[in-house]
Structure 1
């Protein structure tokens, strides 16, 4: 059996064990699948079955302990644990029909983001990644795992979210992977308590931010009416980066075509350098209106400068491996010519 197939089998086995134990808890606690998954994950992190008001009962506790004893977490890589846990979260989200802005970033985009961070930035031991819309933590832990594995650096993560349940899932996922991640339950528009990070990454929620009085100190706020949340979160992310730091953001492809685009572009001119804007393949989206891109910004600083040729284009379809390899090679070449 090939190593790839063995890895897939390990992920599938762990997912089935997670699924079986989560469904057992769901029945026992009479809860949603996602709530039972949180309970199940906390059991695994704390190495014990938590009991409240007699539930789960003794019989179900014994069944859970049997399943847990079969789990080989030590034999799984961080990314295999993340993938299996992600499958459980996806199942729970489908049951609850979670809104689009709270759904997980697909693995393909997480790996792509990791490639761009690894290729275009210079990181050091102790550097941090910041995600101001961390959700379940899938994007943050995907990128962190890739950087730690490929660069052999001690990278840590900061995650912010105002959804307590999503943040609990992020906490469990990072704990099971033994990743150094600090999570903060708050509105990311408010002042943050994190240290400065070297890189910001985020799959940003798209839409209007409803609390106009809280954004008065933001340059990207609208002149009238509600401001775009994704503009505000990009400004906030770049504010908490070290000088010369990079931000990589999943944004609408029509970012610069909106009624608030001029305000956003003026903020960019004053504070950051636009270094790249790469459209994702059209095949990933239902329509041109929903297509997304990766916005690449660099905070102004002593080592930063506006590149002569902004990195622009569209990724080929991910299924076309030769075209994709050519395109990633072009990005590496662009970096050598523009950022060195």
Structure 2
């Protein structure tokens, strides 16, 4: 079955890629912009494009001659779109914040969420920096499969291109989602949810005036955007709810960390910090970790012990499975 599924992913990617390359060449524009046009094209009944020649329009029509979106599952669409975005990053030499969260990491976060909320019939999730929504939708599908819950999902994204990709991806996967095309730090009126999850952009937020309303803002100069987004995220989590953030492994070892720690006191509990395998990152400074926070209230308490550790290599299946078992035991014995 896996071979067949992989074949369908490659089949769909081939259609999307050929269409994108045709538009890219015809309009002399980036692969990413051409791919966004492709996603718009396959959702529209209108096969006309005034900017394409008659010959190119005919070629495009031929590419889609046997295309039927109903032949492909939602996960197939997600993964084919993921492949196309990865190609866009390579071809267009796109900035680091466009990088997708690998499925291996999304699966780990989804696994931890499933363990905590295994007995829930309903679940709401928000990503305050959703990018192309790959992490959000990967977890959505995983929770459907693993614990039989169809989450209510919401996401916020400021970048025009990433928001378009997210909106198209969600539409093609036939997922009902509430998406906000806004700057999260301007305090979007987003829903309050059970879980916030995000692969946070790392660096400085440029508009100091917007950051002033956050307890985690820097006293001098620009503030860390990942600190601001953690605070925003946890303010949009219900009492006792959780936040799962991909953060720098050295999050609490910078001089700016004192503001973050000060804000956390009495508001959120640090329940876990799990370093991802070093092999996933170009150097030690780029290593990331899964930060697990829980809002105070609704019976939540500081767990003892805090779940600290480093995932073994994802290639070492035996050690990886053993580590997941340790997380299971920690969730059931200490956290819940």
Task: Name the structure 1 match of 2:329.
Answer: 333
- What pairs up with 1:165-176 in 2 under 5 angstroms? 165-176=161-172
Tell me how far 1:305 sits from its aligned partner.
1.1
Tell me how far 1:201 sits from its aligned partner.
0.6
Please report the TM-score for the alignment, with normalisation by the length of structure 1: 0.94
**Equivalent of 2:38, from 18, 23, 40?**
40
Task: Name the structure 2 match of 1:16.
Answer: 14
Gapped runs of 5+ residues in structure 2?
A: none
User: Cα distance 1:326–1:191, how it changes in 2: closer, same or farther (>3 A)?
Assistant: same
- What pairs up with 1:257-336 in 2 under 5 angstroms? 257-336=253-332
8 A contact 1:125–1:155 mirrored in 2: no
220-229 vs 273-282, greater mean Cα deviation = 220-229
- What pairs up with 1:133-144 in 2 under 5 angstroms? 133-144=129-140
- What pairs up with 1:1-340 in 2 under 5 angstroms? 3-51=1-49, 54-121=50-117, 124-340=120-336
8 A contact 1:198–1:241 mirrored in 2: yes
Secondary structure of the residue that 1:297 maps to in structure 2?
A: strand
Tell me how far 1:124 sits from its aligned partner.
4.2
Name the CA distance, whole Å, in 1 between partners of 2:69 and 2:105.
Answer: 25
Gapped runs of 5+ residues in structure 1?
A: none
Name the CA distance, whole Å, in 2 between partners of 1:176 and 1:160.
Answer: 18
13-22 vs 113-122, greater mean Cα deviation = 113-122
8 A contact 1:156–1:179 mirrored in 2: no
8 A contact 2:201–2:225 mirrored in 1: yes
Tell me how far 1:171 sits from its aligned partner.
0.8
116-125 vs 182-191, greater mean Cα deviation = 116-125
Secondary structure of the residue that 1:270 maps to in structure 2?
A: coil
Secondary structure of the residue that 1:105 maps to in structure 2?
A: coil
**Count of matched residue positions in the alignment of Structure 1 and Structure 2:** 336
Name the CA distance, whole Å, in 2 between partners of 1:69 and 1:305.
Answer: 58
Secondary structure of the residue that 1:144 maps to in structure 2?
A: helix
8 A contact 1:318–1:324 mirrored in 2: yes
Name the CA distance, whole Å, in 2 between partners of 1:115 and 1:305.
Answer: 22
Indicate the RMSD between aligned Cα atoms, in angstroms. Answer: 1.5
Secondary structure of the residue that 1:143 maps to in structure 2?
A: helix
7-16 vs 22-31, greater mean Cα deviation = 22-31
Secondary structure of the residue that 1:202 maps to in structure 2?
A: strand
Name the CA distance, whole Å, in 2 between partners of 1:6 and 1:154.
Answer: 25
Tell me how far 1:205 sits from its aligned partner.
0.8
Provide Cα deviations, 1:260-297, integer angstroms capped at 9, x if missing partner. 11111111113101110000001111211111000000
8 A contact 1:43–1:50 mirrored in 2: no
Tell me how far 1:26 sits from its aligned partner.
1.5
Tell me how far 1:208 sits from its aligned partner.
1.2
